Every structure is written in structure tokens, then in C-alpha cells.
Structure 1
């Protein structure tokens, strides 16, 4: 089991509005959805890239914090 100081990268997602979708995508020859969460305004999720998760898709208004940058996702207009 990894710790916060381990090799796997973590991201923090904070919902700005209700209904933010966080979707985990698999690694390997076929990229597939393997996990979905819905966050409401103010909720925070800490996610980790693992041997199974190669990408995380975020849909909706949210703040995203990584060890590289802080950024915002936005609703499609």
C-alpha cells in the first residue's frame, strides 16, 4: 500500500457547483471507464493514479490541485 509520499501521484478535486463528475479511466490496450463519482458543491475528493488508473476525467465546475499546477474545469457552454 502506498503512502502520500509514495510513487503514485494524487490529485485533489473540489466541486464548485453540484453535479461534478469524476471518472477514472483504465490503463492498458483498451481504455475504459472503471469508476465514476458525483460531487456536490463544496465536496472534495482525493484521487490517485495507480496501476489500474491512467487518467481521470472531470466534468463540471471544479478546482483541481496537483503537484504540478492548480487549475479549474468548467461546464461546457
Structure 2
């Protein structure tokens, strides 16, 4: 289990975020959105069901995820 020292993200921070649709999103509504939050954390959510909320990541976690995707490790 990974424990984080970063504070939780507030709903207000998520609401105020500037969300961007992924350029990899398809035409079948299988879209995800990404935002860099005011706290420096990264957030990802499902475009078609925003009520589900968002997954948030520390900058280090986000960098590790992006590196893994670029290296096709995921």
C-alpha cells in the first residue's frame, strides 16, 4: 500500500480545474479528461460520467504513469 503525504484534493479544486480532453479519445465517447490542479496534482476523469469524480495523482505518480505508457509498459 502506498501512502501519500500530499493533502486530499477538494471538490472546489476539481470544479475550478481546466480540463482537457485526451487527444487519444475515440469517436465512441470513450473519452477521458486530464487537468493539472492548483495544488500541482494531476486529475483524470471520465468525460461521459463526470459525476463519478476523478482520480488524482501526485506529480511523481503522474510522471511515472506517463513514462510507463510511453515505454508501453502498461
Under TM normalisation by the shorter chain, which class is it? Answer: under 0.3
Higher normalized contact order (CA 8 Å, seq sep 6+, divided by chain length): 1
Structure that is richer in helix per residue: 2
Q: Which has the higher strand share?
A: 1
Q: Provide TM-score, normalisation by structure 2.
A: 0.26
TM-score (norm 1): 0.25
